[in-house]
Structure 1
Amino acid sequence: MQTAPFPRREIGVFDSGVGGLTVLRELRALLPGARLRYLADTAYAPYGGRSADEIRARCFAITEHLVASGAALVVVACNTATAHAIEALRARWPALPFVGTEPGIKPAVAATRNGRIGLLATRATAASERLRALIARHADGREVLVQACPGVVNHIEAGDLDSAALRALVERHCEPLRAAGVDTALLGCTHYPLIAPLWQAALGDGVRLLRIETAVARRAAALWTPGADAPGLAVETSGDPAALRDWVARVLGWRDLDLRRWPAA
């Protein structure tokens, strides 16, 4: 199916909540002249505990909105949404470029010295067939230990980035990877880089921590053809705009955002 002409060209970015803002932050640095629209589906966050059907339904509804708003490129800034929905999105909008977010198995394989890699992910990503296929295709004989981390995203969405409860949760999720002797660990959720120091402290200084948001943003930038539209940033949320505005101001230092509720009340 071909997409209709766009009223204006912009890059649409979405995630279950605030995690994809790590990708958006990189995109703003790489493409300062681009129009960007970010949608945080915070009313349905986290996606990690939802079924594959629920996740796909949300991704379809959000993409419909981004396309109607002028998206000429869509960044699925969520590992869980990518794992469960990106192929269906590409089939529905074959003329629209999509950039997904997946754990960098190949960079981890190149980085590991002892052949043991840890992958920290949401429950839904950890259980996905797409992740299993990705590991089978790229692990090249290395051992990849997948650790589901339920509860972490909830803390980050609430703006809790350094409490004793969160540190204890991170410690618990990292313990099996330490016991297995991994020397490289992947942050398999775009929320997780927001607490990178906590993961590093729990894993130990000897474990190399790999992030993905920069690689995703660079891929999107490589696919983007600048147009004549004026640069800009719109942020939308299915949850409480005031709460998201406060979170963004406190964590990212972005103020005076054009931040609105979607769908409009």
Structure 2
Amino acid sequence: MASIGIFDSGVGGFTILKAVHAKVPGSSIAYVADQANIPYAAKSADWLIKRSQVITDYLIQNGCSTIVIACNTATVSAIGSLRARYPHLQFVGVEPAIKPAALHVTSGKILILATQHTLQSRRLKALCQRHAGQKSVIFQDMPEWVTMAEKGDINSGKVQAAIAASLLPFKDKNVQAVVLACTHYPFFKPVIRRVFPQAVIFDPSLPVANQVKKLHQDDGSNHPQIILATTGNVVGFKAAAANLLPFHAKIQSIVV
């Protein structure tokens, strides 16, 4: 049985999983990749709420008391309803790092990379108005990055060239901060650093892991289990996990 549950539309949440496991290494973790329904960015808010409830029920059945929504899109749509529906659970969502980015930037620009769903959300607009109202902000969706991350082949020359090419239009825009508001995007931080060597990259993984550690007492197990489950193609999921994760885990296919 796991004590921490993490879910995402796919493998993007692996960036969160790695950070959480490093912070609470003695806790068992159940991870759900809802790959049968990727991309979440194409779904309605109502659908995301209902789907998040279904996955939360699955994680509860597997012993989880702390749930991490490792997806910006699902967080902005569903975290409020999940907290209201399951008051006995602790939920940690992913929030774009607008405030620290705005504090860092002086005369340059903030580049926010997110899915279209997140970019259009009231939550992101409110964060920008509250913390970056006087800053120059560029908003950009990178849907092809999700597709490339899902394949797990993030280090190939072809993929890295494609990532760099998609960032070139912003290279001369005096970008001082890059906010990664999709959990798939941190896989490409090395390329982002090469394109914007002067910018600070704000990755949500560590803040989320710190919050989990604050809320969840480490189980202290000498033999914690990490179980990865997908609602999609388990063969492709295994290959992606082998490429993207630095540790071994039990992998299974589920229907929820």
Residues 140-149 or 190-199, more deviating? 140-149
- Percent identity between the two aligned chains: 36
C-alpha distance in structure 2 between counterparts of 1:168 and 1:231, whole Å: 38
- Which residue among 94, 99, 112 is the counterpart of 1:106? 99
Report matched runs for 1:66-215 at 5 Å. 66-139=59-132, 141-163=134-156, 166-167=159-160, 169-171=162-164, 173-202=166-195, 204-215=196-207
Q: Is this contact kept in 2: 1:147–1:173, CA < 8 A?
A: no
Shift of 1:252: 2.0
5+ residue gaps, structure 2, are none
Q: Is this contact kept in 1: 2:2–2:29, CA < 8 A?
A: no
Call closer, same or farther: CA 1:195–1:227 in 2, change over 3 Å. Answer: closer
Q: Is this contact kept in 2: 1:114–1:182, CA < 8 A?
A: no
C-alpha distance in structure 2 between counterparts of 1:252 and 1:180, whole Å: 34
Cα deviation digits, residues 45-71 of structure 1 (max 9, x gap): 221233223322321111111112111
How big is the alpha-carbon RMSD for the aligned residues of Structure 1 and Structure 2? 2.1
5+ residue gaps, structure 1, are 1-7
Residues 86-95 or 42-51, more deviating? 42-51
Q: Is this contact kept in 2: 1:109–1:115, CA < 8 A?
A: no
Normalising by the residue count of structure 1, what TM-score does the alignment of the two structures yield? 0.88
Shift of 1:115: 4.6
Aligned counterpart, 2:17: 24
SS of 1:216 mapped into structure 2? helix
Residues 211-220 or 193-202, more deviating? 193-202
C-alpha distance in structure 2 between counterparts of 1:114 and 1:160, whole Å: 36
SS of 1:38 mapped into structure 2? strand
C-alpha distance in structure 2 between counterparts of 1:213 and 1:226, whole Å: 18
C-alpha distance in structure 2 between counterparts of 1:260 and 1:89, whole Å: 25
Aligned counterpart, 1:252: 245
Q: Is this contact kept in 2: 1:9–1:227, CA < 8 A?
A: no
Cα deviation digits, residues 22-58 of structure 1 (max 9, x gap): 1111111111111211111111122123322332232
Aligned length: 255
Q: Which has the higher contact order (CA 8 A, sep 6+)?
A: 2
